[in-house]
């Protein structure tokens, strides 16, 4: 199949382990499971950088933050607060937004790469108000979270997305298109639609839930709480209307590749964290599968896959060779999808510059997490962590004191990788070191400190 359409669906905050197809003990995701079953699924796929803005930047550029410069929601919190003080209902004042560390100017977005390859490009998303680069490269960008003239940001529902997407699909069905859809349902405040309230216990008093979680330090979702994506809800309740079924109805399924992933997972209290913080499996292990023409059904790949691999893979399937002055950080997963290899990647490197500054390296057996700047490690977290994932997949036993040799080896491996990436992209210092945390008010004063541009060749 030459030049298939490509639909990239990213569900915010959907962690892999809560989907039945990734082994969750309850039936949470019948539609997604079925969809995954007809395609090739990556068992071990990871978000290399969290939370949302850096993660989407990484997915949509196929590059890591050492090149693209976006490693954080930097200044978001402050900018938002300041904007609220200055005026009533502006979420992010333009001037403050302009002071946020920018994406490296030369780095191209997926839409731009597909456009250059002759595709028409469409997005139904709302990230553009957080960072302007998310608006680049679209023939049509539908801002998804405006209802009755009001910006609802996280409260955008799958109904909102589908409301825009279904007519759009009907209109573009005869074009060769790349379509990006961003669903938000699993994101806080965890309010499922009425027909799924039965799945939720103990969340009537959210403040009490928070306290409870932090005291017990346990993962609430394991037994008490299920969150479900509305992609599924819709399909359960009105199966013919789900966007996945909609593709079939329009006769697009035979020439369209659909990719499904999440930007990150969620911590529901494990490791004393809530939200998208910490580099534990709950937060960085994400679902990922590809379905469409030329992609084997029912195949599961065990090797490591990363967010940065998605764009190289879909460009490869689309037959688009990017004309860019830098090397993409990821590689096409096509050999794994169509062949017998597991990719041969021996480690995945993740970073968080949200609630704390941490980097990690994960091999098949071990995960090592370290604070980049000890003094800003969250006070309830150890400075370094080491887990044996084969014996302890929930990362409950920190073995840092028991295996100092293993920890040292992994730490060196991690920093060797960081140095190599910095060298590759001509950056003097790790972006994790040069970027402030979102609480750094001083950062507003001199944004030029965080600029990065590729050196001329
Ligand atoms: Zn997110």
Q: What pLDDT score was predicted for residue 197? A: 60
Q: What pLDDT score was predicted for residue 75? A: 59
Q: Distances in Å between the alpha carbon of 454 and those of 49, 98, 168, 360, 446?
A: 20, 20, 37, 25, 20
Q: How far is the CA of 301 from the centre of ligand 1 (A)?
A: 25
Q: What pLDDT score was predicted for residue 392? A: 96
Q: Is the pTM of this model over 0.85?
A: yes
Q: How far is the CA of 339 from the centre of ligand 1 (A)?
A: 32
52/260 Cα distance (integer angstroms): 16
The burial class, CB within 10 Å (0-12 / 13-18 / 19+), for 167 is exposed
Positions of the chain with pLDDT lower than 50, given as ranges: 87-91, 202-204, 215-218, 220-241
Q: What pLDDT score was predicted for residue 95? A: 56
Q: How far is the CA of 136 from the centre of ligand 1 (A)?
A: 19
Q: Distances in Å between the alpha carbon of 406 and those of 77, 410, 433?
A: 37, 6, 24
Q: What pLDDT score was predicted for residue 82? A: 53
Cα radius of gyration rounded to whole Å, the chain: 21
CATH (one of 3.40.640.10, 3.90.180.10, 3.40.50.150, 3.40.720.10) for 5-186+233-345: 3.40.720.10
Question: Percentages helix, strand, coil for the chain, rounded to the nearest 5?
Answer: 40, 20, 45
User: Phi and psi of 267, rounded to 5°?
Assistant: -105, 125
**Under a CB-based contact definition with an 8 Å cutoff, are residues 303 and 44 in contact?**
yes
Q: How far is the CA of 382 from the centre of ligand 1 (A)?
A: 25
Q: What pLDDT score was predicted for residue 110? A: 98
Residue ranges per structural domain of the chain: 5-186+233-345
Q: How far is the CA of 406 from the centre of ligand 1 (A)?
A: 32
> Distance from CA of residue 430 to its chain's centroid?
21
Q: How far is the CA of 16 from the centre of ligand 1 (A)?
A: 14
Smallest Cα–Cα separation from 324: which of 68, 134, 141? 68
Which residues have C-beta under 5 Å from ligand 1, the single-atom ion? 12, 52, 263
Q: What pLDDT score was predicted for residue 192? A: 63
Q: What pLDDT score was predicted for residue 37? A: 93
322/303 Cα distance (integer angstroms): 25
CA atoms within 13 A on the CB side of 254: 4
Q: How far is the CA of 375 from the centre of ligand 1 (A)?
A: 26
Q: What pLDDT score was predicted for residue 246? A: 72
Smallest Cα–Cα separation from 165: which of 145, 181, 147? 181
75/436 Cα distance (integer angstroms): 8
Sheet strands side by side (includes 366-371): 49-50, 348-353, 357-362, 366-371, 384-388
Q: How far is the CA of 264 from the centre of ligand 1 (A)?
A: 6
Q: How far is the CA of 285 from the centre of ligand 1 (A)?
A: 13
135/180 Cα distance (integer angstroms): 12
E strand or H helix at 348? strand 348-353
């Amino acid at each position: 199949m030459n030049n298939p359409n490509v639909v990239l669906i990213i569900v915010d905050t959907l962690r892999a382990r809560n989907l039945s197809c990734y082994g969750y003990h309850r039936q949470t995701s019948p539609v997604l499971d079925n969809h995954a079953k007809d395609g090739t699924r990556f068992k071990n796929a990871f978000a290399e950088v969290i939370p949302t803005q850096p993660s989407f930047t990484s997915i949509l550029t196929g590059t890591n933050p050492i090149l693209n410069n976006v490693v954080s929601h930097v200044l978001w919190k402050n900018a938002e607060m300041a904007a609220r003080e200055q005026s009533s209902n502006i979420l992010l004042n333009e001037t403050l937004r302009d002071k946020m560390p920018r994406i490296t100017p030369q780095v191209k977005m997926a839409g731009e790469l597909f456009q250059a390859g002759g595709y028409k490009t469409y997005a139904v998303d709302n990230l553009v108000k957080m960072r302007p680069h998310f608006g680049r490269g679209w023939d049509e960008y539908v801002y998804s979270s405006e209802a009755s003239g009001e910006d609802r940001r996280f409260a955008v529902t799958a109904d909102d997305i589908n409301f825009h997407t279904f007519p759009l699909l009907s209109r573009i069905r005869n074009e060769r298109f790349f379509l990006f859809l961003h669903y938000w349902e699993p994101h806080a405040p965890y309010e499922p639609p009425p027909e799924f309230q039965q799945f939720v216990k103990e969340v009537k008093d959210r403040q009490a839930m928070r306290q409870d979680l932090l005291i017990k330090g346990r993962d609430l979702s394991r037994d008490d709480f299920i969150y479900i994506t509305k992609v599924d809800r819709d399909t359960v309740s009105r199966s013919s209307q789900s966007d996945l079924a909609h593709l079939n109805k329009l006769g697009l399924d035979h020439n369209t590749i659909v990719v499904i992933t999440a930007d990150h997972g969620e911590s529901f209290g494990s490791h004393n964290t809530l939200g998208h913080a910490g580099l534990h499996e709950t937060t960085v292990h994400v679902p990922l599968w590809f379905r469409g023409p030329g992609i084997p059904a029912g195949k599961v790949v065990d090797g490591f896959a990363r967010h940065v691999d998605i764009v190289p893979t879909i460009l490869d399937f689309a037959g688009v060779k990017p004309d860019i002055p830098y090397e993409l950080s990821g590689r096409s997963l096509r050999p794994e999808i169509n062949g017998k290899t597991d990719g041969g990647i021996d480690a995945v490197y993740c970073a968080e510059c949200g609630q704390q500054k941490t980097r990690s390296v994960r091999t098949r057996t071990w995960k090592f997490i370290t604070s980049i700047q000890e003094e800003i490690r969250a006070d309830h977290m150890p400075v370094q962590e080491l887990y044996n994932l084969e014996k302890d997949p929930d990362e409950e036993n920190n073995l840092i004191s028991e295996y100092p040799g293993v920890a040292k080896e992994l730490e060196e491996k991690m920093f060797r990788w960081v140095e190599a990436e910095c060298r590759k992209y001509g950056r003097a210092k790790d972006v994790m070191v040069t970027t402030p945390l979102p609480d750094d008010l001083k950062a507003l004063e001199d944004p030029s400190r965080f600029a990065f541009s590729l050196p001329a060749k």
